[in-house]
A and B are shown apart, each in its own frame.
Chain A
Amino acid sequence: MSPAAAERIYRLLLRAYPPDFRAEYGREMVLLFRDQCRESDVRSLGFWAAVICDVARSAPALRADAWRSRGSQSTQTTEVIMKLAAMLTVLLGVLGILNAVVEWAAGSKGVIDGTYVLAVVLGVFASALLLGAGIAILLRRQQAARLALFASLVSVMAARLLFPWMSIFSQLVGFGLPVALLIALYWPRRASPLGAA
């Protein structure tokens, strides 16, 4: 086997390494391999056993490093998404409270039913809890956020049962947002961006 053929085989073996690592050190590795080819017998079994051992020993560790690095980048992205979701939750919580106040003012002009009053109070309570959950996520209080979201969900469910004419938007926000945030908070992550529970 000629050194050029050996180099071609080594270039194929280099594919075992992560692309970023190959781009950074591939050329140098080939140069070092060329040196080895000059100084050793490329036709010997021992030479190829050493080459394959080197690749088998180093490539999986570097692949694992690259995978961990990608995982850490994805954790940072998740953290940013959670912060944006928390801000949206705070905003929707405030809007929910304001909406309930407006509804109360509009409803108070006519005859007020006790069930309606209870539904509005539960709506305000759910919005306040949603607001609290958003703040808890921003403050990295994961357990507090989970509890507030559960309580908000229960309040909205009770309000919906008492007052079935709840708007589609209120139902989407009242049910959809806490469920989505609870899924996100319980989703397994290697390094939780929300810190200690």
Chain B
Amino acid sequence: MKGVTARSEGTVRLGPGTLYGALKRLLEAGLVEECGERADRERGDERRRYYRLTQFGLSVARAEAGRLDALVRAARRKKLIGVRPA
């Protein structure tokens, strides 16, 4: 959750409900998979489950990133972003 907040420069703050709701959907869609359960020594040895992106999830993430990249390039060409306001 802290990673998401940091990467989005504080604009996205995930709570446990939003995070696990999204995780459940990603698991159902086969985009992520569980990769075991282990204790986290930094947090009092509580057992936590870990998840990782599947090969399919990686392909989907790449396709989505490509789509967003094309959109950003189109926005730059149209001078919607990347220019200083007059």
Contact = CB atoms under 8 A, between A and B. Distances in A.
| A and B are interacting partners | yes
A62 B21 contact: yes
A33 B43 CA distance: 12
Contacts of B18: 54, 57-58
A139 B21 CA distance: 39
Interface residues on chain B, size class? 10 to 19
A55 B24 CA distance: 15
Contacts of B14: 54
A32 B1 contact: yes
Contacts of B43: 31, 34-35
A54 B16 contact: yes
A196 B23 CA distance: 35
Interface in A45-85: 50-51, 53-55, 57-59, 61-62
B15 interface: yes
B62 interface: no
B49 A28 contact: yes
A25 interface: yes
A50 B15 contact: yes
Contacts of A125: none
B48 A58 contact: no
A58 B25 CA distance: 12
Interface residues on chain A, size class? 20 to 34
Nearest to A21: B24
Interface of A is mostly: helix
Interface in B30-75: 43, 46, 48-49
A113 interface: no
B76 interface: no
B81 interface: no
B17 interface: yes
A30 B48 CA distance: 11
A39 to B, nearest CB: 8
Interface of A: 17, 21, 24-25, 28-36, 39, 50-51, 53-55, 57-59, 61-62
Interface of B: 1-2, 13-21, 23-24, 43, 46, 48-49
Given A25-B24, A59-B17, A62-B21, 18 more contacts: A21-B20, A21-B24, A25-B23, A29-B17, A29-B20, A30-B16, A31-B43, A33-B16, A34-B43, A35-B1, A50-B15, A54-B14, A54-B17, A55-B15, A55-B17, A58-B15, A58-B18, A62-B17
